[in-house]
Amino acid sequence: QIGAGLVRKTAKICVLDEVDAPLDDHNVERFCNLMDEMSKTTETRFVIITHNPITMARMDRLFGVTMAEQGVSQLVSVDLQAAEAMREAS
């Protein structure tokens, strides 16, 4: 359903909130492949909210919120390609 709606009428941004939660690992990979294909063939930017490590590993950038001390939230951003390059360089 996601693909059909966006192919007909392209949106600038699409927010998907834990759509991968009920999926098994094989279908999470299929979902990620679909997101890769759609991000390359449409002008839509995807924001995917997930707790799934497979989905997180396939993204370009991760944003997270952490609470090191009670009541103080901090935003964390990681560019996965840059992080992988730093890991390979060390």
What's the sign of the alpha-carbon dihedral 65, 66, 72, 76? negative
Q: Is there a single domain that holds both residue 67 and residue 52? A: no
Report the C-alpha gap between 82 and 85 in whole angstroms.
Answer: 5
pLDDT digits (tens, 9 = 90+) for 30-69: 999 999 998 898 888 999 999 999 999 999 899 999 998 9
Question: What pTM was estimated for this model as a whole?
Answer: 0.75
The residue among 85 and 28 whose pLDDT is bigger is 28
Q: Is there a single domain that holds both residue 78 and residue 54? A: no
Q: Is there a single domain that holds both residue 27 and residue 66? A: no
Q: What range does the domain containing 3 cover?
A: 1-59
